């Protein structure tokens, strides 16, 4: 089918659009302007309202049928136009299957080495040392000895937590108490570990004694009294306090990695999670199938041509624009999170501190942040 056929189909569609019989406006206007006016005049002239309304309902039914006939003709012509466009401009789909083959992924030495390092790091973080040894034997990489010891300790403590033994995790928290309590957002991990220990006490008296020894230091920031009160209902089915354990293993893994300057999450796990469960790969594959080589090679896309709905814990921002100065953040002017949670650029925060002020008021809420209370964020 040629472009002349498309023009003919469009002309037919325009002709239908200009005809009142194939639009809703013609019959409806006739109904409003004629039937209602006639009915009003007849009622004012003394005709029985019951008969006038019955005739008006009959006229409405006739107008409805006329509208439906016109719309059927309209939609048929619209469908013919779409078919004519598809036949005149068929998509080129011949190269879709080879979109990833120019060149193949991870064939360059740097890319292959980067992938190997990520896989090796992931195996070590998970404590899979047999797999680490096998991977080292097949590649020229070696897992860092100091990091190996830290990873082994992490795997050991996480294994203890999952088995219900919290003593090693509590010992680590005690040894790193200064780090866990520092910063604008101290870690709640020690409290939740003690909370789990209190919930495991066999009697109310033992729970109260444990709370008196370990928990009252968190009284200002955590619901300690509510937790202790809940132990008075031990053994009963109707407790007003419904308490669930926090994900201790994940909380510990996060703080352990933060303490040693590691990424909070396994980079390989994040990439796989975004691609599979996050749906990014499915969205890319769908775009390739629908639009084919019109989009070019996947790795040349400056951005995805569609929206990918990711879970909240997988939403990252590579660019930040300060809401105060309207300037984009950079390495020399990084985004800074205030103690209230709002984020502005470092230079904007410094301007708020002018005049040798010890703290600055947040531009969006009444909270104030001290000079040492702001936390630098990394893009």
Residue 172, pLDDT score: 94
pTM of the prediction?
0.53
**Residue that is last in its domain, among 64, 89, 114:** 89
Answer yes or no: is 266 within a domain.
no
Per the CB < 8 A criterion, the answer to whether 336 and 360 are in contact is no
Does the residue 121 lie in any domain? no
Residue 293 confidence (pLDDT):
57
> According to the model, what pLDDT value does residue 54 have?
79
* 105, part of any domain: no
165 and 251 housed in the same domain: yes
- Give the 3-state DSSP-derived string for the chain, with helices as H, strands as E and coil as C: CCHHHHHHHHHHHHHHHCCHHHCCHHHHHHHHHHHHHHHHHHHHCCCCHHHHHHHHHHHHHHHHHHHHHHHHHHHHHHHHHHHHHHHHCCCCCCCHHHCCCCCCCCCCHHHHHHHHHHHHHHHHHCCCHHHHHHHHHHCCCCCCHHHHHHHHHHHHHHHHHHCCCCHHHHHHHHHCHHHHCCCCCCCCHHHHHHHHHHHCCCCHHHHHHHHHHHCHHHCCCCCHHHHHHHHHHCCCCCCCCCCCCCCHHHHHHHHHHHHCCCCCCCHHHHHHHHHCCCCHHHHHHHHHHHHHHHHCCHHHCCCCCCCCCCCHHHCCCCCCECCCCCCECCCCCCEEECCCCCEEEHHHHHHHCCCCCCEEECCCCCCEEECCCCEECCC
Residues 332 and 253 reside in one and the same domain: no
> Looking at 2-6, 56-60, 199-203, which range is the least confident one?
2-6
Domain end call among 67, 89, 111: 89
How far apart, in whole angstroms, are the C-alpha atoms of residue 259 and residue 129? 22
pLDDT at 4: 61
Are 293 and 92 a contacting pair, CB within 8 Å?
yes
Q: At residue 24, does pLDDT exceed 50?
A: no
| Residue 350: other Cβ atoms inside 10 A | 14
| pLDDT given for residue 93 in this prediction | 36
Q: Is the pLDDT of residue 155 over 80?
A: yes
CA 273, distance to chain mean position in Å, is 12
More confident residue, 28 or 362: 362
The reported pLDDT for the residue numbered 65 is 74
Same domain, 183 and 255: yes
Asked whether residue 248 falls in the same domain as residue 340, the answer is: no
Residues forming a β-bridge with 343: 337
Given a cut of 70, whether residue 83 has pLDDT beyond it is: yes
- What is the band of 235 on the pLDDT scale with cuts at 50, 70, 90? low
The CATH number covering residue 337 comes to: 3.30.40.10
pLDDT score of 77: 72
The predicted structure's pLDDT at residue 51: 78
Whether residue 141 is contained in a domain is answered as no
Question: Is residue 299 assigned to a domain?
Answer: no
Q: What is the domain count for the chain?
A: 3
- How confident is the model at residue 94, as a pLDDT? 40
- Domain range for 14: 3-89
Judge if 322 and 249 occupy the same domain.
Answer: no
What is the tens place of the pLDDT at every residue in 273-314?
877 766 777 777 777 767 665 666 666 666 666 777 777 777
Same domain for 249 and 178, yes or no, is yes
Residues 80 and 10 in one domain: yes
Last residue of a domain, one of 71, 89, 107: 89
Residue 295 lies in a domain: no
What average pLDDT does the segment 23-27 reach? 50
């Amino acid at each position: 089918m040629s472009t002349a056929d498309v023009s003919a189909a469009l002309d037919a569609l325009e002709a239908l659009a200009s005809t009142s019989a194939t639009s809703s406006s013609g019959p409806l206007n006739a109904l409003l302007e004629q039937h209602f006016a006639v009915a009003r005049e007849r009622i004012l002239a003394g005709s029985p309202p019951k008969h006038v309304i019955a005739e008006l309902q009959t006229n409405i039914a006739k107008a409805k049928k006329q509208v439906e006939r016109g719309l059927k003709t309209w939609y048929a012509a619209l469908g013919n136009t779409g078919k004519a466009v598809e036949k005149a401009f068929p998509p080129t789909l011949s190269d879709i299957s080879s979109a990833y083959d120019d060149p193949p992924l991870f064939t360059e030495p740097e890319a292959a080495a980067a992938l190997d390092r990520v896989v090796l790091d992931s195996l070590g973080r998970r404590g899979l040392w047999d797999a680490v040894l096998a991977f080292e034997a097949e590649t020229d990489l070696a897992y860092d000895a100091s990091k190996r010891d830290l990873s082994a300790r992490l795997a050991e403590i996480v294994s203890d937590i999952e088995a219900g033994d919290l003593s090693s995790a509590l010992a680590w928290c005690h040894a790193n108490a200064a780090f866990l309590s520092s910063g604008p957002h101290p870690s709640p991990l020690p409290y939740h570990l003690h909370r789990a220990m209190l919930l495991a006490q066999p009697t109310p008296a033992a729970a109260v004694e444990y709370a008196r020894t370990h928990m009252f230091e968190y009284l200002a920031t955590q619901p300690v009294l509510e937790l202790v009160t809940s132990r008075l209902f031990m053994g009963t089915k109707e407790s007003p306090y419904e308490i669930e354990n926090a994900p201790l293993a994940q909380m510990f893994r996060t703080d352990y990695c933060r303490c040693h300057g590691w990424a909070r999450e396994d980079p390989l796990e994040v990439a796989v999670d975004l691609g599979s469960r996050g749906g990014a790969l499915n969205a890319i594959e769908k775009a390739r199938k629908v639009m084919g080589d019109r989009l070019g090679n996947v790795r040349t896309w400056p951005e995805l041509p569609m929206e990918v709905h990711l879970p909240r814990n997988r939403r990252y921002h590579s660019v930040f624009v300060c809401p105060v100065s309207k300037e984009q953040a950079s390495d020399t002017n990084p985004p800074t999170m205030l103690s209230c949670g709002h984020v502005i650029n470092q230079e904007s925060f410094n301007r708020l501190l002018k005049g040798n002020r010890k703290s600055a008021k947040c531009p969006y809420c009444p909270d104030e942040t001290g000079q040492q209370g702001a936390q630098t964020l990394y893009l």
